């Protein structure tokens, strides 16, 4: 058995000391210097070291428990009311932007009154849809994919807080959350321990697993609970506000969460959110955020829905999942627009269901604010469950060997003399040479990529060769390449040349959204490009669009609008577009009502390798049918499409009860 290195022993002792300090602060002093998730991550690292070097284990060493969850199948029920997902907000700025969008849309609709908002606790359980006929419970179903759910009527009937008969003999459909109390989980885990079984991990997973049990007696024994929050459909007139709707639901006999508030503006919303981020642990149920809704029903109707979510509501989430890891290096990355982004290279770690080895540090100011150094132990989280973000440095773990990062004055990859400059009014730095070779290469790589023109046989290696030999200087040059030009290049065979020219010819017809993506307009990503293409339909309309017009588009904020206007106003860019239009034809998007498309409102996550098409092709087909593609699995995911070698996303889907499609089932669905 190998002997532990000195550095490993030092690391282990630091971990033990730090964990004990944080545990004391949390459990004795009732303070929270770091999240429980981050503390668990430190414990996991400690266990990994002890597993590798058993001689280092001591009786007082910390430990943790891991548990699984059940999943069953039921017959399907088609929802009579579409089940929408909510967009998420994670910061105060996000909620301010939401408020501005709401007011802008109301103004455009001719509504001059100022909206108010209801704030309700976002219960972390399993969504259910209940249908009543003449006041009697007829059907209970899970959300499923938003169109079809699982029939769990017999199980829901065992939940004491769900009325079998309403106070009024009305026909209605209501929506709410089924959950298990923390105390009930504690009692169940005592029984598990007596039986010699592993404890259940958390009440959310156990509630989801319980509601899918085939035996209603088992469901009754586990004593699930519920909160109802929405009257989705009724044969009687709906209340004129969300606040009155909650009171009406309570009058009908439903259990309504009492902790909701009417807020007159953004500051009151933020105050409510801050209050419950601190107080959430005091309740007997899990709370993962606050749902903010426009209170007035007439305003909700005026705002309507996007393809996937209501415009009048948003989920204001609490902090994301967190883990700890070590910063092994910090490097600079040059983007397509010349902006320099510091990137932390991390000891690989799993967070929110995926393995992460890099995290953006955003800019120089962020490095200084965090005081992050090479060698530091840091808390990492996924902002929005997607983007890796370092939120805190654990200075308690420092040994004195950490190295501070020195921001450079010159970056050779910028070209020329390598000078860099700070962008006026921003925290970002960029290359002074706006046409650096590194930057131009990245733009060309992006231009021919699957997300843009998708020129199959013109990848990075061929782009490098074309640039090195002076055959291309801007994007349009790709389409004017001649066979003789390419055959003159080293190691270029006739078949390779023919393949390149055939791919280039195919790319002369390009969908409008991918044309926009190809231009490398700062701040404009794939989703924004699709929104712009759908809104304007033609390039000429986008080129002429004013700041105010762009700003009014849902999903396009001030920064993006300003960037688009400035990009098209630049004479160099105008010339670039003009040359491209001499070579290519833009295909305008078909005008279709989002709600009429077969996958409207459905969210897909792709994992593993598909044999008949790649992920980009699969994503394009999903979007063409009205669906959306996400990079992470959540309880709002409609389907996970699992190919060969499916990874942690598949496991997450099973854990959350998200339907999983194999390639054959997916192909049937998109046909």
Active site residues: 122
Q: Where are the beta strands (DSSP E) in 183-270?
A: 225-234, 261-263
Contact 390/376 with Cβ under 8 angstroms? Answer: no
Q: Which residues pair with 328 in a beta bridge?
A: none
Q: Do 541 and 522 touch, CB atoms closer than 8 A?
A: no
CA max distance for the chain: 84
496 in helix, strand or coil?
helix
Q: In degrees rounded to 5, what are phi and psi of residue 446?
A: -65, -40
Pairing of strands 603-607, 628-630: parallel
User: CA separation (Å) from 101 to 92, 93, 108, 399, 557?
Assistant: 14, 12, 10, 48, 9
Looking at 245-376, which runs of residues are DSSP E strands? Answer: 261-263, 287-294, 313-317, 322-334, 339-351, 354-360, 373-374
Backbone angles phi, psi at 488, to 5 degrees: -75, -10
The candidate with the shortest Cα–Cα distance to 589, out of 541, 638, 525, is 541
What whole-number distance in Å separates Cα of residue 38 and Cα of residue 45?
Answer: 11
Structure tokens at 581: 């239009």
Burial class of residue 341 in the structure, from the number of CB atoms within 10 Å of its CB (0-12 exposed, 13-18 middle, 19+ buried) = middle
Q: Any residues with CB less than 8 A from the CB of 408 and at least 6 apart, and which?
A: 332, 420
What tokens does 235 get? Answer: 């044969």
d(CA 152, CA 226): 14
Residue 127: how many CB atoms within 10 A of its CB?
A: 20
Token digits of residue 633: 């699995």
**Residue the block writes with tokens 């035996």:** 215
Four-residue CA torsion sign, 130, 133, 139, 143:
negative
DSSP-assigned states of every residue in 544-590: H--HHHHHTSTT--HHHHHHHHHHHH-HHHHHHHHHHHTT-EEEPPP
């Amino acid at each position: 058995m190998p002997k532990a290195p000195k550095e490993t022993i030092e690391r282990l002792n630091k971990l033990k000391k730090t964990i004990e300090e944080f545990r004391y602060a949390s459990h004795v002093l009732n303070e929270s210097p770091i999240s429980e998730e981050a503390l668990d991550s430190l414990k996991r690292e400690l266990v990994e070291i002890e597993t590798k070097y058993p001689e280092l284990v001591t009786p007082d060493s910390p430990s943790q428990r891991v548990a699984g969850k059940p999943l069953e199948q039921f017959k399907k029920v088609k929802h009579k009311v579409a089940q929408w997902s909510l967009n998420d907000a994670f910061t105060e700025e996000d909620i301010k932007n939401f408020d501005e969008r709401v007011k802008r849309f109301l103004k455009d609709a001719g509504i001059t009154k100022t909206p108010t908002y209801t704030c309700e606790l976002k219960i972390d359980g399993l969504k259910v849809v209940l249908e009543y006929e003449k006041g009697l419970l007829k059907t209970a179903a899970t959300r499923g994919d938003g169109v079809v759910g699982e029939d769990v009527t017999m199980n829901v009937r065992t939940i004491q807080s769900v009325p079998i008969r309403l106070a009024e003999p009305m026909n209605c459909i209501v929506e709410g959350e089924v959950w298990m109390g923390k105390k009930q989980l504690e009692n169940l885990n005592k029984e598990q321990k007596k039986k010699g079984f592993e404890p259940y991990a958390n009440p959310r997973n156990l509630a989801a697993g319980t509601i899918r049990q085939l035996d209603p007696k088992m469901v009754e024994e586990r004593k699930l609970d519920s909160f109802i929050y929405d009257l989705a459909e009724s044969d009687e007139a709906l209340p004129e506000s969300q606040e009155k709707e909650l009171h009406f639901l309570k009058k009908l006999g439903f259990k309504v969460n009492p902790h909701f508030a009417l807020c007159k503006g953004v500051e009151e919303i933020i105050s409510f959110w801050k209050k419950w981020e601190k107080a959430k642990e005091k309740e007997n149920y899990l709370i993962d955020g606050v749902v903010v809704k426009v209170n007035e029903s007439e305003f909700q109707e005026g705002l309507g829905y996007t393809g996937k979510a209501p415009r009048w509501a948003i989920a204001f989430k609490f902090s994301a999942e967190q883990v700890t890891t070590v910063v092994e290096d910090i490097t600079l990355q040059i983007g397509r627009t010349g902006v320099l982004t510091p990137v932390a290279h991390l000891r690989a770690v799993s967070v929110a269901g995926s393995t992460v080895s890099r995290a953006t540090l955003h800019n120089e100011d962020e490095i200084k604010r965090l005081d992050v150094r090479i060698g530091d132990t840091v808390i990492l989280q996924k902002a929005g469950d997607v983007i890796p973000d370092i939120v805190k440095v654990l200075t308690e773990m420092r040994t004195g060997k950490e190295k501070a990062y020195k921001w450079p004055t010159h970056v050779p990859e910028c070209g020329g003399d390598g000078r860099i400059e700070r962008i006026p009014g921003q925290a970002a730095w960029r290359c002074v040479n706006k046409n650096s070779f590194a930057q131009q290469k990245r733009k060309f790589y992006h231009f021919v990529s699957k997300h843009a023109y998708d020129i199959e046989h013109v990848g990075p290696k061929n782009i490098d060769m074309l640039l090195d030999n002076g055959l291309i200087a801007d994007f349009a040059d790709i389409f004017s390449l001649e066979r003789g030009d390419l055959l003159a290049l080293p190691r270029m065979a006739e078949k390779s040349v023919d393949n390149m020219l055939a791919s280039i010819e195919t790319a002369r017809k390009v969908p409008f959204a991918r044309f926009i993506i190809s231009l490398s307009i700062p701040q404009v990503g794939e989703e924004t490009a699709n929104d712009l293409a759908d809104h304007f339909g033609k390039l000429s309309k986008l080129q002429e669009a004013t700041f105010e017009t762009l700003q009014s588009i849902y999903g396009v904020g001030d920064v993006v609008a300003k960037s688009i206007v400035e990009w098209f106003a630049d004479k160099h860019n105008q010339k670039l577009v003009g040359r491209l239009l001499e070579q290519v034809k833009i295909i305008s998007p078909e005008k279709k009502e989002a709600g009429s498309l077969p996958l409207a409102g459905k969210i897909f996550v792709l994992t593993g390798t598909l044999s008949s098409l790649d992920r980009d092709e699969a994503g394009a087909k999903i979007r063409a049918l009205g669906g959306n593609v996400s990079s992470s699995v959540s309880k709002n995911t409609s389907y996970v499409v699992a190919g060969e070698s499916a990874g942690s996303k598949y496991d997450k889907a099973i854990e959350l009860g998200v339907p999983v499609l194999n390639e054959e089932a997916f192909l049937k669905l998109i046909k």
